[in-house]
Each structure stands twice: as structure tokens, then as C-alpha cells.
Chains A and B, each alone.
Chain A
Amino acid sequence: MTFHDQVIAILPKLRVQALSLTRNRAAAEDLVQDAVCNALAAQNSFIPGTNFSAWMHRILRNRFISDLRKRRETTDIDDVPASSFASPATHEDNLALKDLSMALSRLPSDQREALVMVVIQGMSYEELAEATDCAVGTAKSRVFRARRQLEAWMSGDLPTNDKLRVKVKALRDAMDARSRAGRPCDDLMLS
């Protein structure tokens, strides 16, 4: 398989990684394209026979961090709406999935990325560590903390003034009100 064939083959995985980092489909597409441009420009630095997948994931991750540093001068990443995080609203047709989407968006990006790469892409901790340029213990810790935090949030183990709980409750109340009135509520996740 040539270098370019390998780039094409890994694109679906890069998209998942990009979405886990950016929480936004459009931003994820831009990030993948930018990472591919970086990889094409740096293809001579890739050593054939070494781990191409990890090399590409690191390029995308480094590009994300670099872009984030630039954007932080003018934008707060938390301003990105959780509604654009993943699937269209029609696919998030139950509250629990919407809650999960919202909770994911509140995780630190490195934990979210680690969890998604292990669960969705089936990476081992060693593969995750190589792809994210960290120690195996760090990779394992990120996944563990992400799971623990999500479980706490999803089981309602939150302080009463927690912003996520307040947001989820407001969303649920609004959806209940719409349902009682017989009105659609798909647009609520877009507000």
C-alpha cells in the first residue's frame, strides 16, 4: 500500500478523532483536511514500516492543539454548541443520548479523544499512547477518568448547582412542555 493509499484508508478514523476533539462536524472536516495537508507536506519524514496510523493521529492531534492555541486568543472553545457535537438531532432521538452528547462535550478534549479512540476504534492503551504521544499510564488514566466522570454525570451524581445538570433539566422541561403541547422539539438541541 502506498503512502497515499494509507492516507485515504485512515480518513474515517481521522474523522472520528477530529470530531471527538472539536465536538463540531464542520470543524472536524476542516481539521481532517488540514491534518492531511500537513501529512502530505511531511510525508518524507514518515519512515516506511513504522506505525502509520499513530503517525497520522499525532499529526491531527498536533494540528488541533496548534489551532486551539491560536483560537484561544479570540474564542472560548466552550462557546461551541454541544448540539453540533455529533449526529443530527433526528438520530439523537432519546434524551439519554442527548444527555450523553452534552456530557461528552463537557469532558476535557484529551479524555474525550481517549475514550472515543478506545471504544469506537478499538485501540489498546499502547496504541492510544502512541497515537496521542503520551505514556501508557496516562492514556489509561484518561480513559478511566472519562468513564468515571460520565458515569457520575449520567447517574445524576452532581452538585445541585452543576451547570450541566441545570442545562439538562432545562432541556428536559422544555421538551416535556413541547410534547404536552403536541409541538416538535427537534430544534431545542440547536438553540
Chain B
Amino acid sequence: MTAGDKRKSSVEDTKAEKQESPFGIWLSRGLHQLFDDVANEPIPDELLRLIEEDRNK
């Protein structure tokens, strides 16, 4: 098995496990409900300013 095959196999394993059981589906939905808001919140101005100040150094 090549490294590429292994990678493909692992990616497919991950996908398969996500969908393998009702619990897996429920868990995925629950995690999205708990975490999606955090990812979608606006970035604090202070943090953006910090990055921009460093960019303009």
C-alpha cells in the first residue's frame, strides 16, 4: 500500500466512522450545535488590530 493509498484509506475511515451509526450521526449534530456558533462569531477587533499592527511593522 502506498502512502497515498494509506491517506485515502484513512480519510475514508474518518468519513465512514462519522456515518457508521445513529449515535455517530447524533454526535456529529450535537457537536455542530455546540461548536458552530463559536466558529461563526465575528473576530474581536482587538485581535484583528494586533495582527494588522504586526503586518504594518
Q: Which residues of A contact B (CB under 8 A)?
A: 2, 4, 7-8, 11-13, 15-16, 19-20, 25, 28-29, 32-33, 36-37, 40, 85-87, 91-92, 96-97, 100-101, 104, 115-116, 118-120, 123-126, 136, 140, 143-144, 147, 150-151, 154-155
Q: Among A4, A29, A144, point to the contact of B52 (Cβ < 8 A).
A: A4
Asked if residues A118 and B51 are in contact (CB atoms below 8 Å), the reply is no
Asked if residues B24 and A147 are in contact (CB atoms below 8 Å), the reply is yes
Is B41 interfacial (CB-CB < 8 Å)? yes
Q: DSSP class of B's interface residues: helix, strand, loop or mixed?
A: helix
* A18 to B20 Cα, complex, angstroms: 27
Is B54 interfacial (CB-CB < 8 Å)? yes
The residues in B between 9 and 47 inclusive whose CB is less than 8 angstroms from any CB of A are 10-11, 13-14, 17-18, 23-24, 26-28, 30-41, 43-44, 46-47
How many B residues have CB within 8 A of the partner chain?
34
Is B50 interfacial (CB-CB < 8 Å)? yes
Q: With A2-B55, A12-B39, A97-B30 as given contacts, are A36 and B50 in contact (CB-CB < 8 Å)? A: yes
Is B48 interfacial (CB-CB < 8 Å)? yes
Asked if residues A119 and B28 are in contact (CB atoms below 8 Å), the reply is yes
Identify the 4 closest CB pairs spanning chains A and B, nearest first.
Answer: A86-B34, A4-B55, A12-B39, A124-B11
B47: which A residues are within 8 A, CB to CB? 11, 32-33, 36
Q: With A36-B51, A147-B27 as given contacts, are A16 and B7 in contact (CB-CB < 8 Å)? A: no
Asked if residues B34 and A85 are in contact (CB atoms below 8 Å), the reply is yes
- 21 examples of A-B residue contacts, CB within 8 angstroms: A4-B51, A4-B55, A8-B48, A12-B39, A12-B43, A13-B39, A16-B38, A19-B35, A32-B47, A33-B46, A33-B50, A40-B54, A87-B34, A101-B34, A118-B18, A119-B27, A119-B31, A119-B32, A125-B11, A126-B10, A154-B23
